[in-house]
Homo-oligomer: A and B are copies of this chain.
Amino acid sequence: MLTVASALEKLLATVLPFGLSEIALEDSLGLVLGKDICCPDDIPPFDKSLMDGYAVRSNDVTSGVSSLRVIETITAGRVPTRKVGVGEAAQIMTGAPIPEGADVVVKIEETSREGDQVLIKTVSPQAGTNVILRGTSVRAGDCVLSAGLVLNGARIGTLAEMGYAVVPTRRRPKVAVLATGDELVPIEERPGPAQIRNSNASMLAAQIESAGGVPVRLGIARDERDELRRKIHEGLTSDILVLSGGVSAGTLDLVPSTLAEMGVSEVFHKVEMKPGKPIWFGIRDRSDQSDHGNCSVCYVFGLPGNPVSSLVCCELFVRAAIRRLMGVEPAIVPPNLAKLEHDYSTRTDRPTYHPARLTWEAGSLAVTLVPWHGSSNLCGTAAANGMAYLSGEARQYRVGDELETYGW
Contacts and interface: CB of A to CB of B under 8 A. Distances in A.
Stoichiometry, as copies per complex, reads 2
B184 A77 contact: yes
A251 interface: yes
Contacts of A72: none
Contact of A402 (B158, B363, B384): B363
Contacts of A337: 362-363
B364 A76 contact: no
Interface string A359-381: 01011110000000111111111
A190 interface: yes
A155 B196 contact: no
B78 A194 contact: yes
Residue of A157, A355, A376 with most partner-chain B CB within 10 A: A157
A15 interface: no
Given A78-B194, A97-B194, A157-B381, 11 more contacts: A76-B252, A77-B181, A93-B252, A96-B194, A108-B250, A109-B249, A151-B206, A157-B378, A160-B199, A161-B196, A163-B190
12 contacts: A26-B217, A77-B184, A136-B373, A136-B377, A137-B373, A152-B206, A153-B204, A153-B408, A334-B360, A337-B362, A338-B363, A363-B402
Give the top 10 A-B pairs by smallest Cβ distance, nearest first: A157-B203, A337-B363, A77-B182, A77-B183, A153-B207, A76-B183, A161-B199, A160-B202, A160-B199, A154-B381
Interface of A: 25-26, 28-30, 39, 43-46, 48, 50, 52, 73, 75-79, 91, 93-97, 108-109, 132, 136-138, 144-145, 149-165, 181-184, 187-188, 190-191, 193-207, 209-210, 217, 223, 248-253, 305-307, 311, 314, 334, 336-339, 355, 360, 362-365, 373-382, 384-385, 402, 408
